Chains A and B, each alone.
Chain A
Amino acid sequence: NAGVTQTPKFQVLKTGQSMTLQCAQDMNHEYMSWYRQDPGMGLRLIHYSVGAGITDQGEVPNGYNVSRSTTEDFPLRLLSAAPSQTSVYFCASGDRGHRQFFGPGTRLTVL
């Protein structure tokens, strides 16, 4: 099992550009989520999904879109990147025992 994979590992964008952060899991977990990690702020929940076709907002959803067309994939889209979105992004999937498994992260810089 690869677990939770994220691509790319690093990305630099210019303000106003769009991009998609990819997240995939091979554990057949229904629950998936996206967090951003910023110094002194911990991890903040952006969006989450309890199954294919179902998504909901977390604590800091503005500026981000998600969709869940399959159980395996949960991409995070930035439609118009802003410097405030410079962060490390983590994707996670959760099993029925309430354990969450995290990917290695994507480090995003917006200039």
Chain B
Amino acid sequence: AQSVTQLGSHVSVSEGALVLLRCNYSSSVPPYLFWYVQYPNQGLQLLLKYTTGATLVKGINGFEAEFKKSETSFHLTKPSAHMSDAAEYFCGISQGGSEKLVFGKGMKLTVNP
């Protein structure tokens, strides 16, 4: 069975600083990996996904993530945080070819002025 791990539950950055949210995965087959964002009192929205091909994936709102098979990681980054990035971020995994999606526990991002 596949799973993802997001260590910690909360990260705080200053506006304009680098955002780095970590995600490590476990899968016995090539995974599909995802990052979703949840703003307060809303459902989740897809930020970006990795299925096959280029390992550096660009998403919406200036976010990107890199699939590193050797490190079993799919960390999310953004060069410069904006106040509007404050939200909860979830890493997710599905087995290639299956739509069944399993999430990590989430990471709440706070952006300080």
Q: Could you tell me which A residues sit within 8 Å of B by CB distance?
A: 4, 31, 33, 35, 40-45, 48, 50, 56, 58-59, 90, 92, 94, 98-105
Contacts and interface: CB of A to CB of B under 8 A. Distances in A.
B101 interface: yes
Contact of A94 (B43, B45, B99): B99
Nearest to B1: A59
A38 to B, nearest CB: 10
Given A104-B42, A104-B43, A105-B43, A42 B101 contact: no
Interface residues of B, number: 23
Contacts, number: 60
A45 B46 contact: no
- Which 9 A-B pairs have CB atoms at the shortest separation, nearest pair first? A102-B43, A42-B105, A31-B99, A43-B103, A102-B44, A94-B99, A42-B106, A42-B103, A99-B46
B46 A100 contact: yes
B45 A99 contact: no
5 contacts: A33-B100, A41-B105, A48-B100, A59-B102, A90-B43
A104 B32 CA distance: 25
Interface string B79-110: 00000000000100010000111111110000
Nearest to B103: A43
A33 to B, nearest CB: 7
A99 B106 contact: no
Contacts of A90: 43-44
B11 to A, nearest CB: 15
A98 B102 contact: no
Nearest to A100: B101
* Centre residue among B41, B51, B103 by max chain A CB count within 10 A: B103
B9 interface: yes
A76 to B, nearest CB: 15
Nearest to A107: B41
